[in-house]
Amino acid sequence: MMIVIIGPSWLGTDTSGVSRINNESDPVRMEIELAFERGVPIIPVLVGGARMPSPTQLPQSLKKLAFRNAAEVHAGRDFHHHLDGLIQSLLETTAVGQQNSSVARPLQ
């Protein structure tokens, strides 16, 4: 399972003003592409008031990410409540994965 933490500047820009996620050698992009290729479940987590990127903001290889349901984690009084919900979702996903042999095995 992969947790992709997306903050307000997640897309980033390089010195030319181009989104770094569009750079084929960006390590974040490469890790997410590999997870998609291997069928690893991907869970986006939004922090700092970030929003999910739209498909037009992502390279073709990552467009599927824009359609994932994201968990939101906010600082403040609800922080622990949000994390508890995320942990519960992860535990449920893991339990389903252990019962379903079609879910990808952890990367070695």
Give the start-to-end residue ranges of the domains of the chain.
Answer: 7-99
Question: Which residues in 1-107 belong to E strands, given as ranges?
Answer: 2-6, 42-47, 71-73
Burial class (CB in 10 A: 0-12, 13-18, 19+), 108: exposed
93: pLDDT strictly greater than 90 = no
pLDDT value, residue 105: 47
Ramachandran angles phi, psi of 36, nearest 5°: -60, -45
Q: Tell me, what's the pLDDT at 80?
A: 77
What is the pTM assigned to this prediction? 0.74
Spatial neighbors of 105 by CB under 8 A, at least 6 apart, are: none
